[in-house]
């Protein structure tokens, strides 16, 4: 019984990360497009910063998968 409960609670952080990270990535993309629309000259700087931010956000899912798998 406790093994099943441990597996379920260990997977909840993975589910939360998988569901919320795409929302964060979408917000990063939305704000990047908005800022390029306001200041087109800064498009290269905004692109680089948004790609880095999206990569860090995506890394959260991998950390949750690897660390969540160790809990179960």
Q: Which two tokens stand for residue 21?
A: 């990270």
Pick the closest to residue 64 from 25, 11, 26 (CA basis): 11
Contact indicator for 64, 17 with CB cutoff of 8 Å:
yes
- Report, as an integer, the average pLDDT of 45-70: 86
Residue 39's φ and ψ, nearest 5 degrees, are -140, 85
Question: Which pLDDT does position 63 carry in this prediction?
Answer: 85
Radius of gyration of the chain (CA): 17
- Tracing tokens 């990270």 back to the chain, one arrives at 21
Contact between 60 and 39 under an 8 Å Cβ cutoff? The reply is: no
Q: pTM for this structure? A: 0.74
Model pLDDT for residues 31-48, shown as the tens digit of each residue: 999 999 999 999 999 999
What domains lie within the chain, and their CATH numbers? 2-71 (1.20.20.10)
């Amino acid at each position: 019984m406790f093994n099943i409960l441990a597996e379920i609670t260990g997977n909840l952080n993975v589910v939360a990360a998988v569901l919320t990270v795409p929302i964060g990535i979408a917000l990063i993309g939305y704000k990047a497009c908005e800022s390029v629309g306001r200041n087109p000259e800064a498009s290269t700087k905004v692109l680089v910063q948004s790609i880095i931010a999206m990569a860090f956000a995506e890394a959260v899912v991998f950390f949750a998968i690897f660390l969540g798998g160790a809990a179960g």
